[in-house]
Amino acid sequence: MDTSVNNISNILAKADLTKQDIVSLLKSNVEDRNELYRKSALIKEEFVGKYTYYRGLIEFSNICAKNCYYCGIRLDNKNTSRYELDEKTILSAVQFAYENNYGSVVLQGGEREDKVFVEKIDSLLKKIKKLSNGELGVTLSLGEQTKDVYNRWRESGAHRYLLRIESSNIDLYYKLHPNNKKHNFERRLEALQTLQTLEYQTGTGVMIGLPFQTYEDLANDLLFFRDFDIDMVGMGPYIEHAETPLFQHKEKLLPLTERFNLSLKMIAILRLLMKDINIAAATALQAIDPIGREKALKVGANIIMPNITPTINRKNYLLYENKPCIDEGADDCTNCLEARINIAGDTIGYGKKGDSKHYYKRISKKK
C-alpha cells in the first residue's frame, strides 16, 4: 500500500495545517507534491478565481543605504553602476502601464530615508494619481520608513506596500543582515505593523533556499504570514550573487532546481493556509526557469509583475545572478507573457486593480 499518498491526502483534507504538516508537505515527493498542487489550484479557483493581475514593475533606483548580505545592489558593492530614474522616465513607464491596461504599478528600489527621496516619491505618487485619474493601483516597495512617511505616501496615492520580512526567524535574519541600527529585525516588524494600521494592503515575504534555512524555518514563515493576517505575499528563491558576503556560503545551498521546487511548494501551501490573499509569482522564479512564474500561477499565485523599467537601466538592478529580461523592452515582455499566462489557464485581469480580497475582510473586521 502506498502510505505516502494516504498521508498526504490526510494532511490535505485538514481544515488547519500544523507546522509538522507543512514540513511534510515541503518535503513531499513528486507524486505527493502534484496532489498538493491540484488542491491549491482548486482553492485558488474557488477563492480568487482563475485570474492573474498585472503590476507593472518599475525598478526606480538601485541606490541603497543598506547592506543586506544577499543583495547585489547593497551599499558596499562598488561594482554596481548606480542610477536613479528621473520623474519623466518613471511617468512614461506609468503611462505605458496605464495605456496597456495593467491596472497597477509597483515602484521598487533601494532603501533611502532622506528628505529629497521622500519628497520625490510623494510628488510622483500625486502625479501618478493625476495621470491615471486615480485608476491605477500603486504598490510601493521602498523599505523601512517612519510612520509619518508611510502616512504621507498613503495620502498621496499609494495603497499597497511590500516589505519582505526576509525570514521570520530572528537568528537567521541576523545571518542575512548586519546587526546594527540600520538593520534591525524589530524595526522591520514594527514597520509592517505600521503599514497595517495605516490601512495599506500590506505585503511581505521571504527568500526560499537560503543558506542556514531549515524546513522548519519555512513552515514558521508561512505561519507567520497567517498569524500576522497579511494581505499579500511575494516570496521566491534566493539566488546567489558573487559580489555579496552571503556568496561565501554557496556550498550550503540546495541546487537551483530544488530551490525552485521548494518555492512552488511554499506558494501552494500558502494558498491552502490563506485562501483569499494575493500571492505574487516572484521574478526570481523566472531566473531559474523561463516559465517559472507561470508554473507558480498554476499552483496558487495570482499576481505577476512584468518589468516595465526602461531596458537601459535593467542591467544595473542586479539583485542576483541570471536576472531575466534585462535585454527586453516592456513590449516584448508583455506580448509573450500574455500567451504564457493563458496557457497556464488564467485570464488576465486587464484594467483591474486586483486588490487583495483578504484586505477588505481584514479592514471590515476592524470597523
Name the residues that contact ligand SF4, by CB under 6 A.
64, 66, 68, 71, 73-74, 110-111, 143
Cell of 136: 491605477
Q: Are strands 51-54 and 201-204 parallel, antiparallel or unpaired?
A: unpaired
Q: Are strands 160-162 and 137-141 parallel, antiparallel or unpaired?
A: parallel
Interaction between residue 239 and ligand SAM (CB under 6 A): yes
Cβ-based nearer residue to ligand SAM, 166 or 221: 166
**Minimum CB separation from ligand SAM for residue 12, in Å?**
29
Pick from ligand SAM, ligand SF4, none: which does 74 bind, CB < 5 to 8 A by kind?
Answer: ligand SF4
**Minimum CB separation from ligand SF4 for residue 70, in Å?**
7
Cβ-based nearer residue to ligand SF4, 68 or 297: 68
**Which string of x and - marks every residue 93-132 that binds ligand SAM (by CB under 6 A)?**
---------------x-xx---------------------
Residue in 207, 281, 303, 318 binding ligand SAM, rule: CB under 6 A? 207
Distance of alpha carbon 315 from alpha carbon 319, whole angstroms = 10
Task: Measure Cα distances from 58 to 111, 194, 306 in Å.
Answer: 15, 24, 9
Cell of 253: 545551498
| Helix (H) / strand (E) containing 60 | strand 56-61
Q: How many residues bind ligand SAM (CB under 6 A)?
A: 17
Closest by Cα among 40, 8, 39, 34 to 21: 8
Interaction between residue 163 and ligand SAM (CB under 6 A): yes
Interaction between residue 189 and ligand SAM (CB under 6 A): no
Pick from ligand SAM, ligand SF4, none: which does 302 bind, CB < 5 to 8 A by kind?
Answer: none
Pick from ligand SAM, ligand SF4, none: which does 112 bind, CB < 5 to 8 A by kind?
Answer: none
Bridge partner list, 59: 108
Bridge partner list, 281: 235
Give 170's Cβ-side CA count (13 Å radius): 7
| Helix (H) / strand (E) containing 160 | strand 160-162
**Which string of x and - marks every residue 129-158 that binds ligand SAM (by CB under 6 A)?**
------------x-x---------------
Cβ-based nearer residue to ligand SF4, 41 or 73: 73
Distance of alpha carbon 126 from alpha carbon 142, whole angstroms = 17
**Minimum CB separation from ligand SAM for residue 68, in Å?**
7
Cβ-based nearer residue to ligand SF4, 94 or 162: 162
Cβ-based nearer residue to ligand SAM, 20 or 257: 257
Cβ-based nearer residue to ligand SF4, 166 or 346: 166
**Minimum CB separation from ligand SAM for residue 99, in Å?**
26
Phi, psi of 125, deg, nearest 5: -60, -40
Q: Where are the beta strands (DSSP E) in 190-327?
A: 201-204, 207-208, 232-237, 278-281, 303-304
**Minimum CB separation from ligand SAM for residue 22, in Å?**
21
Rg (CA), the chain: 19
Closest by Cα among 279, 268, 309 to 84: 309
**Minimum CB separation from ligand SF4 for residue 318, in Å?**
11
Distance of alpha carbon 187 from alpha carbon 205, whole angstroms = 16
| CA quadruple 24, 223, 42, 239: dihedral sign | negative
Pick from ligand SAM, ligand SF4, none: which does 211 bind, CB < 5 to 8 A by kind?
Answer: none
Residue ranges that bind ligand SAM, judged by CB under 6 A:
70-71, 108, 110-111, 141, 143, 163-164, 166, 207, 238-239, 241, 284, 319-320
